[in-house]
Amino acid sequence: MTRTLEADPVAPLGAALSEAAEVVRRGGLVAFPTETVYGLGANALSPEAVRAIFEAKGRPAANPIIVHIADRSDVARLTSRWPGVAERIARAFWPGPVTLVAPRSGQVPDVVTAGGETVALRMPAHPVAAALIQAAGVPIAAPSANRSARISPTTAAHVLSQLAGRIDLVLDGGACAAGIESTVIDTTTDPPTILRPGPVSAEELWNEAGVRSVAGSAAPGRPHRSPGAMARHYAPSARTIVTEASEACVYDEAAKGRPVAWLRFAREAEPKPGVLQLTMPDDANAYAAVLYARLHQAEAAGVEVIVISQPPSGSHWTAVLDRLSRASRA
């Protein structure tokens, strides 16, 4: 059975935290909130514990996992080299929604890196995540707490809808603020490569850390591309269509008798009754914060088709557009 414990996001120290830390120490699986999405955590230094993550998620073994730390001093034991750009980015954005890929040390089990020579590190800002890592006393390996290739969870209820009975514990710390996964940056390339766009944009890397980056997946010849590049990653089970002509598309699908959800902007026409309409914010960060929750809601309602009004282009929307294109890929 999977148990759920409430963890106060403002004052997270307490019984729930020590219990969760104990589960991690003895090799179990704990889902916990971060500022991006919920993670499915295990002791990163234990190959058996990390293998259990792959098992619970149905995750392909070739996908490496992010190691979460609570203190910058952990970087030294987990990496064999820490590039100058990694240090600059960490100083500007840690703790926060940025993951840095660097050469791994011998202390990182192969199963974490999927056999590769690099490790992805992140220091989360969420007080529950930070307190859990601290209390466990070990770095915590954690992918998003969803079944492989499904939508990432931004609430404890989302986690349970996919993983109930497959993991030991969920720490419920409420909804995640950013709502989409961290920006993943490979710091072993020059310039560094954004493997997965996220809450911290290329502009912010430049403005706040003085770091120029390029977009793209891992360099050719690398053992692992980001599994974020997998075709059906982040996908809802309903057919998902992102289009400028959303109103016509919704009417078309509804006319064929299909249950439809429409993620629309407030300025667009009201849909006719029978369509599950979910209004999306006009601001890119606010949109990202609710996107997965809306997709989970549409899934739970059992719709066959999810029509999503095309958001504006522009660099603020890069991470959202990335997730939408993955969600709608056939």
* Unique residue bearing structure tokens 């557009």: 321
By CB under 5 A, is residue 162 in contact with Mg ion?
Answer: no
Rounded distance between C-alpha atoms, residue 280 and residue 220, angstroms: 37
225-244: which residues touch ligand TXA (CB under 6 A)? 226-228
By CB under 5 A, is residue 144 in contact with Mg ion?
Answer: yes
By CB under 5 A, is residue 63 in contact with Mg ion?
Answer: no
Binding mask of the shown chain, residues 109 to 148, with x at each position contacting ligand TXA by CB under 6 A: ----x--x-xxx-x-------------------xxx----
By CB under 5 A, is residue 201 in contact with Mg ion?
Answer: no
Q: How far is the CB of 65 from ligand TXA (least distance, A)?
A: 5
Q: How far is the CB of 144 from Mg ion (least distance, A)?
A: 3
Partner that binds at residue 33, options Mg ion, ligand TXA, none, CB closer than 5 to 8 Å by kind: none
C-beta of 12 vs 227, nearer to ligand TXA: 227
Binding mask of the shown chain, residues 37 to 66, with x at each position contacting ligand TXA by CB under 6 A: x-x-----------------------xxxx
Binding mask of the shown chain, residues 238 to 277, with x at each position contacting ligand TXA by CB under 6 A: ----------------------------------------
Residue range at the interface with Mg ion (CB under 5 A); choices 22-30, 62-70, 117-125, 136-144: 136-144
234 to 106, 114, 153, 231: CA distances (angstroms)? 31, 20, 10, 9
Q: How far is the CB of 243 from Mg ion (least distance, A)?
A: 25
Partner that binds at residue 139, options Mg ion, ligand TXA, none, CB closer than 5 to 8 Å by kind: none
Q: How far is the CB of 308 from ligand TXA (least distance, A)?
A: 21
Q: What tokens appear for 267 in the block?
A: 């300025």
Which residues form the interface with ligand TXA (CB under 6 A)? 34, 36-37, 39, 63-66, 99, 101, 113, 116, 118-120, 122, 142-144, 181-182, 184, 195-196, 218, 224, 226-228
